[in-house]
Structure 1
Amino acid sequence: MVDQPHFDVSAAVVRQLGEELVSDEVTAIVELVKNAYDADATYANVAVNTKDFLPAATTKYPNARGFVTIEDDGFGMNEGEIKSGWLMISLSTKRQMKSNGGKTPKGRTPLGDKGLGRLSTQKLGENLEMVTRKDGSGGSSRVSFSWASFTDNRKLSDVPVSIETKTEPERAKGTLLAISGLRNPNVWEGSAADQLVTDLSQIISPFPEARPFLVTLKINGRPIDLGQVSQRVRSAAVGRFFFKFLEGQLTIDGEIRLAKLLGNDPDAFSALISRDHGRAFFDYLLKKPLPVSLHYPDDKVRFATFSYSVALSSLGDVDTIASANGDDRRVTADPGPFSGEIDEFLLRHDPTTVKLAGLTNANEVQKIVKRQAGIKVFRDGFGIRPYGINGQDWLRLGAGWTSAGSYYGLRPQNVLGFVLISEENNSNLKEKTDREGFVSNPWSQNFQRLVMQIPKTVSDLYETIRRTFNEYRREIADKARPLGPTEKTVADASSVAERLASYTERAISLSGGAVSARERIQKVTDRIHKTPILSSAAERELSDLLTEANAALESSTALFSEMEEYAVQARALADIVGSLAPRLDVMSDQLNDFTELAGLGLVAETLSHEVQNQTDRLMQQASGAIKKGQTARPQNRDLVQFGQEVTSTVSALRRLVGHLGPSLRYQRDKIEVIEISSLLKELKEHFKTRWEGDDFSCSLRLTGSNFDIETNRGRMLQVLDNLLLNSEYWLKETAKRDPNFRPEIVVEYEPYRLHVSDNGPGVEKSVEEALFEPFVTLKSKQQGRGLGLFINAQIMESIGGQITLLPDRNADGRRFIFEVDLASVGRG
């Protein structure tokens, strides 16, 4: 029979594949422990020995120094399953089971499906021996081979493998892997071993609710504590946040301890929070529009509890997939249900934290938080790299904390947390072959978008609490002592301080004289008591001393009287400073918020000026090129066409900059009479050009009765710009899901108000009450900071107007009409 041409594979390919798929020893160990989980084991015992050899009677490789053993009590394999399955690279019965929705007898959905887990063993050592017995089988099987046999000059089918079956079982049901000839024994010793154990303790879940079975580790005979984060330690958190995502809805339930409000001002905390456990401030906070539903727990430990809910479809920047119905509509890619918890800690030996946790000292909390810091993702109890491992900040908490106004925000080194997913419910969250993160697809993108919404919600609430507390302090201080003009107050405080310093020095000098006089008076008094009949000399001495004492006391009395007057001034100074401090805090907040915007304004002014100059030059040169092309013989049509295209592009650029111009500093104080229909037509032309360049089709309909206003043109354009840009964003999000959607924005106008609405999703209920507060948005951090509507409210207030969200609701039950009240600037 003639051999048919066919592919074959060198044995070295398998070895190379294993080296590329398994990055380190931790990944190798975890992959092998996962196999035990998939085999319904109740435990996996891992033992490492870097110095000794396997007993000669139990191994084919007695001279291979160092070994790793992994033992479990899973359902094991028989010889037939070894030959038809385990020895077939990339063949996986688990893959078929998962595709059919099958589960193991214990109800587990297998974690492995690539048939490559056994390749992990080569990362650990040169030789592999496996002893396994299937539950109910009479005997056990031993498989042995060496990875050194996988060479370039040998076919995969020619690699020698030994299989021995013994009728007398060597073990109970389950599997024992023995990997000998350690490749890198140094990683199991010294500081390298400490890091490896730290990594392993994070990937094998330290949270009891996320650990599905027991995993133990010994290194050179010494049991290693893989660590658990107990409820006792987690109870020391100043903030605890529990979340779940189910049926398209993300819900968050949180609690904030009083200790969170301590900040860097323990005096303010003592005066304003401790005395009534924060109740007065909580009531003050409730007067503010809040992004969450807040409750007072009244238990003297917690400041507040809150709840929050938002639909995935309501968030910005979510990915979509084709509808299963076969039509053109697209639906939100649902990553499947998940749940989790984030705990935030204070790590500065705070006695309040220690007391709340019931710990003897803060070192226990610090040690565990430092070791386990980060928010990790666990699939059926096994961590997925790199999410949160060794503090990896996949949720970008550090970026948010270092920005302005985020003192209270979550910090990556101060949080412990986990997100629990499963193979059964989150099968679309696929891990990369090298086990280093999720494959990028619509489901994984939306999963990250959802989880990022959790710390964002917490940080937004913290920021609201911080700002409101500064206002609360200011109001309390103002009630105690109203604050006059700032310059006069500061000057008064400086004068009082200088006078106090002067009199303090005099008091110290006189105090020394008074002490000396009292000592001498005491000596004479003692002598008088001992000698009742005084000599004339004693009388003279006493007279001198009394005169000296009287003078000193008289000076002291006058000084102390004067000092009492200034003590009153000192108290006034304390009141003044107490009143100034919170006001300055509020001013600092405002400066931080708008420093970046001011910088952008300066850049915009410079850009506007330079663009005008450069476009003038371009227009001149383009006109010259057109004339040259037209007069050339034969006519240079390419040059003419190019010149015309340049002219058209420059004209569009100048229109865009011209639209920006009125908002810049040199124009913003100019008051003029503006015809509202003319302003809106100008706005419509600007957005028409913008959308044409962005390939976005949207109808902007203007309707109403014309009227005039008298105000600054740039400010009005900024208000309307922000509203239309907001509509544009959410209309684009809707268009992603429905190709038949026809975006429309409607601006209705009549004396003296504007109504701006669109046919998009409307305003999500969870944010409608706090919509005009700073940093309130459901857009991603990359797309918006939540300042547009806040700025609109500030601009309208500055001209005596108002912007509101009307109570009318669209078909989805959401408010969707913005009203701009222009009565204060109406003319006529």
Structure 2
Amino acid sequence: MAKPKYHFDITPHIIKQLGEQLVPDDVTALLELIKNSYDADASYVSIEINTIGEYTNERLFYPNQNGYILIEDDGFGMDQKTIIKSWLLISYSNKRSLNGPKEKTPQGRTPLGEKGLGRLSTQRLAEICEIFSNKVGKKGTHIAFNWKDFEKEESLSAVKVKYETYSSKKANGTTLLLTNLNNIEVWQGKNLERFKGQILQVISPYKENRPFEVYLKVNSQPIELDKFNEGLSDLAISKFTFSIKDNILTLKGNTRLTKFQGNDPLASEAFHNFVEFDNGRKLFKYLKSKISDIKRSDDPYFMSFERTFEIDKDVKLEIYNGERAKPGEFNGIINEFSYKEEQLRNENSINNIFGKYENYKDFAQAQIGIKIYRNGFAVLPYGIDESNKDWLGLSSSQTKTSFYDLRPDNVIGYVAIDEGKNFELKDKTDRSGLISNPYSRNFFTLLHFVKDQINLYQRSIRRNYNNFLNEYKTENNGIKTVNQALNELKVTKSKSDEVKQEFNDAVSNVEKAIIESGMIVKSVKNNPMYSTDLEKETVEKVNTLLNKLKVIQFTLQKLEQVISKTEKLNEVIDILEPKIQILEDQLINFSELASLGLTAESVSHEFTSIADRLAERATFYVSKLQQNKLNDADIYVFIEYINTTVTGLKIQLRHLDPALKYNREKKSLLNLTSFFEEENDYYINRFKKQHIELKIIFEDTFSITINRGKLVQIIDNLLNNSEYWLLERTKNEKDFKPTINIKIASPWIYISDNGYGISPAIENQLFEPFVTTKPKGEGRGLGLFIIQQLLDASGCTLALEPIRNEHKRKYIFAINLSNIIVR
């Protein structure tokens, strides 16, 4: 008796289930088949979907079927051996790579397929699959099978596959014919319109980002993939491009003048009065003085900028296997659109391209979202479905303080990645996003960095635009400050009181003159026989004068109403004056309290570290006590440790105490040498654990009058900044020895470190609020702004010295204390 042959097998039904899990919908299925044409080095792929017709151009194994999908390309094709190995051996893929980038095709493309399961997409679309394919100089191979057979047979090898060879008229290529469509309703009526929108989402509508031509026809109706053309792109109110190459992130932007036009009538009026009348000439001059890297741009844009960042120095990336997990080179575009008709009223292209404004708006809103395209094909679901339109988190910054940031409903764009250059960015098995790994996480970190830098630019130009309006208005008015405006009100009230009696006398005199003149005119006119010619001539002149007096009287009556209003100015002044004073005090308190918060944050971190170490020691000695191993020496050591810990806590509290409210208002005479010697214990203790060396150089000591807590906060915020970036460099460079330098040279305090320095891209906006290159959650961009506010309250300044380090970056902060120095 022959021994039974034991072996694994699989039922065909499992293959159908696998296909349903891996290919969630018809659009994804079609996309996978288009990718196969790309992988075959095709210069084009043609797709025809016909829901009612019958395909008759070829000899078929399964003729007379209802409806078909025809996918045809001019790729390198398949021979009999390739079809058996690539199509009929489930899950085999010659595109697979265990480590590193995949092997390229003969034309240099990196295959997009990953799992070798794209063929299962055909069962999502139709019952019957027929393939016609041939390589150059070889006969063609025609195979066909019915997916229904996978439900009938018991083993996979029993599924019937029909085949034959044929002489092809094409030099090379593949034709895939799918008949007996599963979901005809997907390609009809409203569903067809939905499909058009979906296919435009998953195949890049940007020619520069699409690697080969895709022709699509549904029931004889072509679908134009290029409909999203340059015309729509040129209507963007702001346009940003970015690229990452050779450790450099380059960000470029263009902004239309109408970007500054506000929503409400007053803002629009200000824009027309102070900006539009000279095409923004004065505005640009002002902005250029504040943001030095902006330039005038070509029409239709008003201004542009270009900024570069060194990724190793400016962006915090995750470390993997001892080095930064860099995702590879990529680039992208983010266009910001406006739906305010007034901002686009001069755009002829709206009528030329879309017919009318409503059509432009509908089409633009249908394309909303930032997509990720891998070699021209969308990586789902980013920017595609509603739940993932805002995967970049644009809505999270929509607050009252950042209204001018990018908003998810106004942005259209893409990120272009490449299978070869970004091979570590891998799709999930079900094509529902990128697999989370250090490379993909750093990829998203870089994109969030780009978004943050765009938002910083948007806020900066808007904030400076508002400042421009304020300065321009006050320059014309001669009033520069709120206090000047209040004083002007007081002067107006005083002047009005002075002239009030004179005005009343004038009103009374005009009234008398009118009465007397009227009597003269009436007397002569009533007695014409007794009036001389001279009197009659005089009466005519008096009558003319009388009419002018009546006009003056009418004007005086109006002025009387105005003067009566000025009597209430005292009430207005009494209300405004204390409120203005309160607001100014609150601004000072805000700066002080915010700075205190940053100082307390660092101190609380120290408290936590001290508490953790004390708890660790206590646990150790409790364990020894429980094991009856605790001796007198242990108790002595523990007590000494507690004493040391208490001393450390006192140092922390002594450092924080001057900044508390009951001490914050006290000013004292401080010798800077004594001040830094007293604070030295705190700083040494703090930086010792981070292996940061602190050097204090007393080149020329001097004394100042200032609140001690305020000075502590100023120094702390600068040192916090240095500490953060020094630790970031330490993570990347094992042999790096971080150092902070403080130099005292009357009337200056210079603070610097040997980190990378300030990124040139933000050095001109460094002291504006919310400007930072730190990741979200690790930096607010308020530290330097708060320091400036604290110094400004004392008539002092903070500046970034022009000297650059070996990285060609500014790195020295200079505090000018000349206004509070004691001679």
- Superposition TM-score tier, normalisation by shorter sequence: 0.7 to 0.9
Q: Give the structure 2 partner of residue 396 of structure 1.
A: 393
The 1:60–1:653 alpha-carbon spacing in structure 2 relative to 1, beyond 3 Å, is farther
Q: Give the structure 2 partner of residue 199 of structure 1.
A: 198
CA offset at residue 650 of structure 1?
7.9
Distance 1:749 1:294 in 2: 36
CA offset at residue 34 of structure 1?
0.6
Q: Give the structure 1 partner of residue 718 of structure 2.
A: 723
From 735, 738, 756, the counterpart of 2:733: 738
Q: Is the 8 A contact 2:149 2:159 kept in 1?
A: no
From 762, 765, 769, the counterpart of 2:764: 769
Distance 2:586 2:205 in 1: 43
Distance 1:589 1:311 in 2: 40
CA offset at residue 99 of structure 1?
6.5
Q: Give the structure 1 partner of residue 23 of structure 2.
A: 22
From 234, 254, 275, the counterpart of 1:273: 275
CA offset at residue 231 of structure 1?
1.0
The 1:809–1:551 alpha-carbon spacing in structure 2 relative to 1, beyond 3 Å, is closer
Q: Give the structure 2 partner of residue 507 of structure 1.
A: none
Residue 213 of structure 2 aligns to which amino acid in structure 1?
Answer: L
Q: Give the structure 2 partner of residue 810 of structure 1.
A: 805
Distance 1:714 1:260 in 2: 43
- Spell out, residue by residue over 1:292-327, the C-alpha distance to the aligned partner (whole angstroms, 9 max, x if none): 621224x675321222222222323123455xxxxx
- Spell out, residue by residue over 1:634-683, the C-alpha distance to the aligned partner (whole angstroms, 9 max, x if none): 98999999999999878766755654443343432122344545544565
- Spell out, residue by residue over 1:256-310, the C-alpha distance to the aligned partner (whole angstroms, 9 max, x if none): 222112123221111111221111111122221x2x621224x675321222222
The 1:277–1:126 alpha-carbon spacing in structure 2 relative to 1, beyond 3 Å, is same
2:329 aligned with 1:352: no
- Spell out, residue by residue over 1:697-725, the C-alpha distance to the aligned partner (whole angstroms, 9 max, x if none): 32233343665543212211211111111
Distance 1:312 1:590 in 2: 41
The 1:823–1:99 alpha-carbon spacing in structure 2 relative to 1, beyond 3 Å, is closer
SS in 1 for 2:95: helix
The 1:316–1:96 alpha-carbon spacing in structure 2 relative to 1, beyond 3 Å, is closer
From 416, 422, 427, the counterpart of 1:426: 422
- Spell out, residue by residue over 1:716-757, the C-alpha distance to the aligned partner (whole angstroms, 9 max, x if none): 121111111111111122112112222222223355533222
- Spell out, residue by residue over 1:407-450, the C-alpha distance to the aligned partner (whole angstroms, 9 max, x if none): 33222221222232322333333333332333334443443333
Distance 2:584 2:392 in 1: 25
Residue 366 of structure 2 aligns to which amino acid in structure 1?
Answer: R
Q: Give the structure 2 partner of residue 176 of structure 1.
A: 175
- Spell out, residue by residue over 1:608-648, the C-alpha distance to the aligned partner (whole angstroms, 9 max, x if none): 99x99xx99xx9xx99xx99x99xx9989999999999998
Distance 2:799 2:272 in 1: 38
SS in 2 for 1:770: coil
From 810, 815, 821, the counterpart of 1:820: 815
- Spell out, residue by residue over 1:352-411, the C-alpha distance to the aligned partner (whole angstroms, 9 max, x if none): 3552635353223312221111222222211222333247223322222x1343233222
Percent identity of paired positions between Structure 1 and Structure 2 = 33
Q: Is the 8 A contact 2:44 2:214 kept in 1?
A: yes
When structure 1 is superposed on structure 2, of 228-237 and 804-813 the one drifting more is 804-813
Distance 2:592 2:186 in 1: 51
When structure 1 is superposed on structure 2, of 231-240 and 423-432 the one drifting more is 423-432
Task: Give 1:333-372 correspondences, 5 Å limit.
Answer: 333-350=325-342, 352=344, 354-355=346-347, 357=349, 359=351, 360-372=355-367
SS in 1 for 2:145: strand
Distance 1:22 1:568 in 2: 80
Q: Is the 8 A contact 1:316 1:730 kept in 2?
A: no
Distance 1:422 1:282 in 2: 39
Q: Give the structure 2 partner of residue 76 of structure 1.
A: 77
Distance 1:181 1:639 in 2: 86
Distance 2:234 2:585 in 1: 35
Task: Give 1:509-658 correspondences, 5 Å limit.
Answer: 558-560=553-555, 562-563=557-558, 656=652
Q: Is the 8 A contact 1:659 1:686 kept in 2?
A: yes
Size of the aligned set, in residue pairs, is 737
Residue 251 of structure 1 aligns to which amino acid in structure 2?
Answer: T
Distance 1:590 1:405 in 2: 21
CA offset at residue 171 of structure 1?
7.3
SS in 2 for 1:768: coil
- Spell out, residue by residue over 1:50-86, the C-alpha distance to the aligned partner (whole angstroms, 9 max, x if none): 5678789966667987654433332321211111232
- Spell out, residue by residue over 1:528-586, the C-alpha distance to the aligned partner (whole angstroms, 9 max, x if none): xxxxxxxxxxxxxxxxxxxxxx9999978733553378799999x9xxx9xxxxxx99x
Residue 752 of structure 2 aligns to which amino acid in structure 1?
Answer: S
Distance 1:234 1:440 in 2: 32
2:256 aligned with 1:257: yes
2:112 aligned with 1:111: yes
TM-score, normalization: structure 1? 0.76
2:786 aligned with 1:786: no
Q: Give the structure 2 partner of residue 287 of structure 1.
A: 289
The 1:690–1:198 alpha-carbon spacing in structure 2 relative to 1, beyond 3 Å, is farther
- Spell out, residue by residue over 1:215-273, the C-alpha distance to the aligned partner (whole angstroms, 9 max, x if none): 23344554444453111121112222233333222223332222112123221111111
Distance 2:427 2:588 in 1: 40
SS in 1 for 2:761: helix
CA offset at residue 181 of structure 1?
5.3
Structure 1 gaps of 5+ residues are 323-329, 497-549, 578-583
Residue 33 of structure 2 aligns to which amino acid in structure 1?
Answer: L
Distance 1:103 1:650 in 2: 65
Tell me the C-alpha RMSD between the 2 structures.
4.8
Structure 2 gaps of 5+ residues are 496-544, 573-578
Residue 296 of structure 2 aligns to which amino acid in structure 1?
Answer: Y
The 1:222–1:769 alpha-carbon spacing in structure 2 relative to 1, beyond 3 Å, is closer
Distance 2:776 2:709 in 1: 27
